[in-house]
Structures are given as C-alpha cells and as structure tokens.
Amino acid sequence: MKEILEIVTYSLFAGITVFMGGILSRTFEKFRDYPAYKFITHFAIAFGGGILIAAVAFVLIPKGIKQLSIFPLVLTFISGVLFFCILDNWIHQKGGSFAQMMAMLMDFLPEAIALGGVFAHNIRLGLLLAIYIGMQNLPESFNTYIELKHHNHSSRTSLTILFLLSFTGIIAALMGYFLLRNKPSIIAGLMVFSGGGIIFLMFQDIAPLSKIKNSWIPAIGASIGFLVGIIGGKLFG
C-alpha cells in the first residue's frame, strides 16, 4: 500500500506541472499587447520543441534500442509516425490542430507508464523520472494552453482541460505498475511508438509555429530546450 501511495504521489507531482504550465501561460496573456509577448510565446514553443526532441533522443528511443530487436524497433517507430500522420491529417480536415497537446501527451503518458513500471524495481529511478517528467511538462503545457486558446477555447475551459490532463499520469503510472512492470518490451514499444509520433508532429506542426521572420530567438529557445533535455538525461538517466 505504501508503494502504491508513493507512485500516486510521484506521478501527481509529475502531472501537476501540466496545470501549472497552463496557469503560467494564462498569466503571460496579460502582456499580449506588448511587443515582447510575441517573442516570449515563440521562444516557449521552440523551447518546448527542444525538450520534446531531447525526450525522444535520450529517453524514448534509447529505451527501445535497449529492449527491442531491429525489426520490431523499426516497425513500432514507423507505426507511430503513420498513426499520428493520419490522426493529424484528420484533425486538420476538421478545421483544427492540436499538435502541441498530442505531442505533450505522447511524451508524458509513456514516461508515466515507465515510471510505474520501474518503481517496483528501483524507487530512486522512479523518483528521478518523476522529476524529469515534471520538468518537461511545464513548457509543453504552456504551449498547449496557447494552442487551446487559438482554437477558441476560453481561458477557463483551457485550464480545466489541462487540470484534468494532470491526473492522466496517475492512471498511466498505476497501469505501468500493475500491468507492465514485468513487461519491459511493451513499455519500450510504447516509447518508440510515441517517439515516432513526436518526430512527425515536430516537423509537421510545432517547428513551423515557432518561426519568426528575421529573428534568432526561436532557434536559441530550441537549443536551450534540447540542452535542458541533455542535462536531465545526464542527471536522471
């Protein structure tokens, strides 16, 4: 019972930053009439993109390389790319785009499942993974709030969505603990599948949104975001 309570606590800590990122983004809305607001939001999109790429490079794909042979590794990655290609195209046809939210969840949920899966074997690694997930969620949810507002959701609705998403990590972590803790290959497959989807969404939707003509700020933001991912991988990997 104590171990389950710890999993819930750590995964809640990792997930609550989804809501905190939305609140932070809501706060910055007060300054949208200032010229700096444009640079701040584009920097945040690029920064979150850098962290997403780092998550793929240092967490999601390395797990797959370690656990899967070459054929299932390639098949799972391509499946992730194709699935989210079809999903993203379908959403665009309906007149919307939720690439930021999909990428955030594809990063958050497989890592939360891994958190629950490794907790039974290595509590310290579970704690460190929770810290890393929480760090990633903050800028990603900052951008997701902007995306939700762009699609005509009110501030209250956008924050409510992010608040509810904060608790999905608990479900994912418990699922990993009870169902997948002795099935590392399945966890690895989920991570590689998500990694493929993130790479697709990054170059299809997220990176183009970060661009500002005649400005180097987004590129710096992406580079710093990737550096944060390197540091996280070094400290918590």
Token pair for 82: 């194709």
* pLDDT given for residue 209 in this prediction: 64
* pLDDT given for residue 77 in this prediction: 92
pLDDT band (50, 70, 90) for residue 20: very high
pLDDT digits 0-9 by tens, 155-195: 999 999 999 999 998 999 999 888 887 888 888 888 888 88
pLDDT band (50, 70, 90) for residue 222: confident
Per the CB < 8 A criterion, the answer to whether 45 and 210 are in contact is: yes
* pLDDT given for residue 87 in this prediction: 82
pLDDT digits 0-9 by tens, 100-110: 788 778 778 88
* pLDDT given for residue 16 in this prediction: 93
Task: Label residue 207 exposed, middle or buried (CB < 10 Å: 0-12, 13-18, 19+).
Answer: middle
Give 22 or 138, the one with higher predicted confidence: 22
How remote is the C-alpha of 192 from its chain's centroid? 14
Q: In 94-183, where does DSSP find H-type helix?
A: 99-119, 123-150, 155-165, 168-179
Sign of CA dihedral 24, 153, 80, 15: positive
- Domain boundaries defined on the chain: 2-236
Per the CB < 8 A criterion, the answer to whether 186 and 122 are in contact is: no
Per the CB < 8 A criterion, the answer to whether 151 and 22 are in contact is: no
- For residue 33, what are the contacts with CB-CB under 8 A and spacing of at least 6? none
Per the CB < 8 A criterion, the answer to whether 155 and 33 are in contact is: no
pLDDT at position 55 over 70: yes
* pLDDT given for residue 210 in this prediction: 67
What is the per-residue DSSP string for 68-109?
S-HHHHHHHHHHHHHHHHHHHHHHHHTT---HHHHHHHHHHH
pLDDT band (50, 70, 90) for residue 119: confident
Could you tell me the CA-to-CA distances from 3 to 119, 174, 187 in Å, in that order? 8, 11, 20
* pLDDT given for residue 74 in this prediction: 92
Sign of CA dihedral 232, 98, 196, 184: positive
DSSP-derived secondary structure letter, 31: G
Question: Amino acid identity, residue 116?
Answer: G
